[in-house]
Homo-oligomer: A and B are copies of this chain.
Amino acid sequence: MASERQHPRDTGTGISRRSLLGRTAAVAAGATALTTTAAGTASAAATRDVDVVIVGAGLAGLTAARDLVAAGKTVAVLEARGRVGGRVLNLSLANGGVTEGGGEFIGPTQDRIKALADSLGVATFTTYNTGNNLLYKDGKKTPYATDGVLGSVPPIDVAGLANAAIVQASLDDMAKTVPVDAPWTAAKAAEWDRQTFETWLRANAVVPSAKFLLDVACTSIFSAEPRELSLLFVLFYIAAAGNESNVGTLERLTETAGGAQESRFVGGSQQVPIKLAATLGDRVVLSAPVRSVAKSGSKYVVTADGVTVTAKKVVVAVPPPLAARISYDPLLPAARDQLTQRLPMASVGKAIAIYDTPFWRADGLNGQVVSDTGVVSSTFDNSPPDTSYGALMGFIEADEMRAYDAASEADVKAAVLKDYVTYFGAKAASPSSFVLQRWNNEAFTRGGPVSIAAPGVLTQYGPSLREPVGGIHWAGTETSIHWMGFMDGAVRSGERVAREVLAVL
């Protein structure tokens, strides 16, 4: 199993880790300090001097680098891992295929990740969505039809459906009043930020089956339980699931056709950051976790394992709780520091079982399950577009992920396959291979897919999300006003931070 995990190399376009890195044919196992300037001149010292140093080679950092380079600036991108992409990760399969361990879907109004992928020649294909969804509830399986126009309607009691519809409409209506660029200024921000989403749901989703549907929606969207979230944060997140001309809705977050899970990337989503990094050449330094950011005269000195970069401006493009683990001199303002103490990562993993064929399709199933039990309560058909093999992908989320953080991979696999057999029958018991990605256990993420906010955080600390501190600017999907938590938000944050830096450089 280990041989299938976390292959940083490209899986389809011939770009290798080596060519990505330029001249470093022999990359040391530890710190990798590239010694070329942005202009490509090699030197022996593990130091660089650039206009802008970027911390993190996820989509946010790489996009910022692209725009800064396009504007004629010199750039260095310091990445802690031995690969680019951050929370976007291709996993190579034993059968030669590829699947995604992190963010994988793209949908309507996610314009910026789409434009980026287009520019890099990474095509999309429609997420498999033919046939019935499956509801597994109270020990019973019920298939139900999907409908790309009106959305799917799970087969629960009429009272529950009616209640869920009212709750959904209420959330959308409230979300419409939340300014995505400043949710803390919403007219009812104080009221909504003093209670958990759970408190609100208990007062509004009063029919048990409706509460069940909303709970599943919550864990599916946030990989967090409703008790962990501020109602205001949930409303902001819903509002942010759109673009400048199209405010988000709960349905757009949860749906496949017409929603955030509509399409996927050919070759796996990590194609996008890998190809983007390739355009930056040896400006990207891998295996260089940043430890400190210190002002020195009019410049900043950014120290990573194995390499030190001086720059006029700094872009920190890592999740807030990890940004907190960098040492800053001078100290960050209290508001910024305390914000990063209050935006923990949610808890998520993905389990992908590979089969010779997507056998569930013959049973009229689209591979999408909603379940009230199991370690996996939400699945997708992750088979490749050519159907050369079948792949069932399951999310492990929130409490379920926490329960399996410390389990052996064999135990997780057994638990996941038990669920898959429950949902899809005996054939699911014997995959040809199985890959598992647990983001909580990743040194440079420690959770996922995104930071979450408990009550009080947005109203108290929200403005510090994006406010630069001297020459230090903040990026990452958590700073985006559209599609926070998604690849699109990451790209948008990179574009925004590049504009922000260029305006003051």
The proximity string for A residues 438-451 relative to B, scoring 1 for CB distances below 8 Å and 0 otherwise, is: 10110100110000
A229–B447 alpha-carbon span in the complex (Å): 22
Contacts of A440 in B (CB 8 A): 334, 337-338
Query: Residue among A193, A196, A344, A345 with the most chain B CB within 10 A?
Result: A344
Is A227 in the interface zone, CB < 8 Å from B? yes
Q: Is A432 an interface residue (CB 8 A)?
A: no
User: CB-CB < 8 A to A225: which residues of B?
Assistant: 456
Q: How far is the CA of A456 from the CA of B461 in the complex (A)?
A: 20
Q: Mark A156-185, 1 if CB is under 8 A from B, else 0.
A: 000000000000000000000000000000
B441-A334 in contact (CB<8A): yes
Asked whether A335 is an interface residue with its Cβ less than 8 Å from the other chain, the reply is: yes
Q: Which of A194, A198, A402, A461 has the most CB of B within 10 A?
A: A194
Contacts of A402 in B (CB 8 A): 334-335, 338, 460-461
- A291's partner among B291, B331, B334 (CB-CB below 8 A) is B291
Contact in complex: A196, B198 (CB < 8 Å): no
**A196→B455 contact, CB < 8 A:** yes
A18 sits at the interface (CB 8 A) = no
Q: For chain A residues 296-344, which have a beta carbon within 8 Å of chain B?
A: 321, 324-325, 327, 331, 333-335, 337-338, 341-342, 344
User: Nearest chain-B residue to A224 (Cβ)?
Assistant: B456
- Tell me whether A228 is interfacial, beta carbon within 8 Å: yes
Q: Return chain B residues, CB-CB under 8 Å to A194.
A: 196, 198-199, 226-227
Chain B residues near A441 (CB-CB < 8 A): 331, 334
Q: A335, B405: Cβ atoms under 8 Å?
A: yes
- B347 adjacent to A338 (CB under 8 Å): yes
- Measured between C-beta atoms, what is the minimum distance from A291 to chain B in Å? 7
Say yes or no: A193-B321 contact (C-beta < 8 A), given A338-B344, A440-B338.
no
- In the bound assembly, the distance between CA atoms of A101 and B325 in angstroms comes to 26
Over the window 83-102 of chain A, the binary record of Cβ atoms lying under 8 Å from chain B Cβ atoms (1 yes, 0 no) is: 00000000000000000000
- Known A-B contacts A334-B440, A334-B446, A335-B402; A228 and B455 likewise in contact (beta carbons under 8 Å): yes
In the complex, which residues of chain B have a beta carbon less than 8 angstroms from the beta carbon of A227? 193-195, 455-456
Q: Which residue of B lies closest to A347 (CB)?
A: B338
Q: Are A338 and B345 in contact (CB under 8 A)?
A: yes
Q: Report the interface size for chain A: residues with CB under 8 A from the other chain.
A: 41
A38 contacts B by Cβ under 8 Å: no
Cβ–Cβ contact B345 & A344, under 8 A: no
Most chain B CB within a 10 A radius of its CB, from A193, A325, A338, A341: A341
Interfacial chain B residues near A341, Cβ < 8 Å: 321, 344-345, 446-447
Chain B CB within 8 A of A406 CB: yes
Which of A195, A227, A334 has the most chain B CB atoms inside 10 A of its CB? A334
Name the one of B195, B324, B333, B347 contacting A196, with C-beta atoms under 8 angstroms. B195
User: With an 8 A cutoff between CB atoms, is A399 at the interface?
Assistant: yes
A455: chain B residues at CB < 8 Å are 196, 198, 227-228, 454-455
Chain B, Cβ-Cβ closest to A341? B344
Chain B residues positioned under 8 Å from A333 (CB to CB): 405-406
How far is B321's CA from A52's CA once the two chains are assembled, in angstroms?
Answer: 29
Query: A443 CA to B226 CA in the complex, in Å?
Result: 33
| C-alpha spacing A226/B193, complex, angstroms | 11
A202, chain B: closest CB distance, angstroms:
8
CA distance A337 to B406 in the complex (A): 12
Q: In the complex, A198 Cα to B193 Cα: how many Å?
A: 10
A and B contact pairs by CB, cutoff 8 A, 6 listed? A195-B227, A334-B406, A334-B446, A337-B440, A338-B347, A342-B344
CB-based closest 6 A-B pairs: A454-B454, A334-B440, A341-B344, A194-B227, A334-B405, A228-B456
**12 additional contacts (CB under 8 A) given A199-B199, A337-B446, A338-B447:** A193-B227, A194-B227, A195-B195, A195-B196, A195-B199, A196-B199, A334-B405, A334-B406, A334-B440, A334-B441, A341-B447, A454-B454
